[in-house]
Amino acid sequence: MGAVSWHREADGLSAPRMPTEQISSPAAPTALPQKTRFAEIDSLRAIACALVIISHTFALFEKVTSNNPELLARLKWGGGLMGVYIFFAISGYVIPSSLRGDRSSGLKRFAIRRFWRLYPPFWASLLAFYAGNASKYTISNLAFGVTMFPGLFNARRMGGYFWTLEIELFFYVIITLAFLIFGRLNLKVTTALFLLTLIWCWSWFKLPGEGGYWTRPSLCLTVMLWGSCCRNFINKKERWGSPKWGISLNTLSLGVSTGLVSIWPTQGAYFSFLSEGFHSAKISLAVLSGILAFLFFAILTPIRCGWLARIGRWTYSTYLFHGVILYSILEKCTKALSGWPMPVYMAGTLLLSFTLGALLYRYLEQPSDRIGKRLSSRDRNITR
C-alpha cells in the first residue's frame, strides 16, 4: 500500500512546500505549490460512508430479515452516528485551509468552489429523491429543500439524512466569518471558536426547550472545530519542537489533540439527554469511537490504502444518492425482498450505492467541480 495523491483543490488538502530550486528559476514565474489529497483521509471517508449506509440499511430491513446478527444490530445507531462524526471531523480538518489569500479574493474563491462542489450534485439527488417520494412531500418542501437550509425556515426536511449538509453549511458560515474578521484561521482562531462552541452547547442546558433546533448544530460544530484544531496542531509542530525537551513533535501535538478528545464522552451524554430514545452509554461510545477513529486512523498512524482511498473520492455522491436507492426504490420492495439475512441487504445496498456514487462522481460531481475551478480561476488575484 502506498500513498495516493490526486490534484483537487476543493477539499483544501495542502501539499508539502516545493523545493526552492523548483520555484526560484528566473526564467519562469514563481510556481505555487500544488494541492494534493491525503490517502488516509479519503480511506477514512470511505469507511465512514459505509458505516452510515449500513446503519440506514439495517433500519429499513430489520423487520423483514431472516437473520439479524447482534454485531450488525449494534450498528443501527452507533455505527451511523460514528460515521457522521468522522465525516464532521474530516470536514473540520480539511476545509478551513481552502480559505487563504487576502480576505476578498479568498472568500470569493471559497464561495464559488464550494457552491459548485456541493449544490449541483445535491440538487440532482434531491430531485431524484422527490421523484421517488412525491406522495410524501409537497412542492413547498422541495422549494425549501433546495436551499440546503430547510430547518432554518422550520420547513420539513426531505430525506432525513440531508441534515448533515445543513450542519456543513453552518460550519462554512462560521469559518468564513472568522476569516473575514481575522484574515486567517490559525490555531488561536480555531481554538477560540472551538471553546466558544462548547460554551454554546452547554448554554442550552439553561434555556427553555433545551436549545431546540440549535442543539444539534452546536454539538456537531464542536467536532468540526476540533478537527480544525487538530490540523493546526500538526501544522504548528515545527514551531513547537525543541531538542532539549526530549519530546516527540508528533507526541506533543497528538497529546494535546487527545486531551481534547476527553470532552466527547461528556458531550455524548449531553446529546443523549436531549434526544429521547437514545441510550446515554451507547451514544457516548459512538461519539468517542468516531473521534478516536479519526485521530488514530488519519493522524497518529495514517493508513494509506490505494483502492479504499479511490472509493473515498466518491463518498459525497454516494452519500447523496444512497438515500435515493434505499427510500425511493428498495423501501417500496421490502415485501418482495423479505426473508434474506441482514448481511445480504447490507452488501447489496453498499454495492449499489458505491457503484452509483462512482458514476455520478465522474459524470456529475467532477464536471460541476471543474466549472467552479474555472470560474474562480478567472480572477488572477485569487490565489490558487
Structure confidence at residue 242 (pLDDT) = 46
In the block, cell 474562480 appears at 376
Q: Which residue has the higher pLDDT, 205 or 236?
A: 236
- Provide the CB-side half-sphere exposure for 182 (13 A, CA): 16
Compute the mean pLDDT over every residue in the chain, rounded to the nearest whole number.
78
- Residue extents of the structural domains in the chain: 36-377
pLDDT tens profile 211-223: 567 777 887 888 8
Does 95 have pLDDT greater than 70?
Answer: yes
Among 161-165, 173-177, 201-205, the minimum mean pLDDT is found in 201-205
Of 365, 290, 267, nearest to 92 by C-alpha is 290
Structure confidence at residue 27 (pLDDT) = 42
d(CA 54, CA 353): 11
Rounded to whole angstroms, what are the CA distances from 326 to 50, 61, 123, 133? Answer: 14, 10, 18, 11
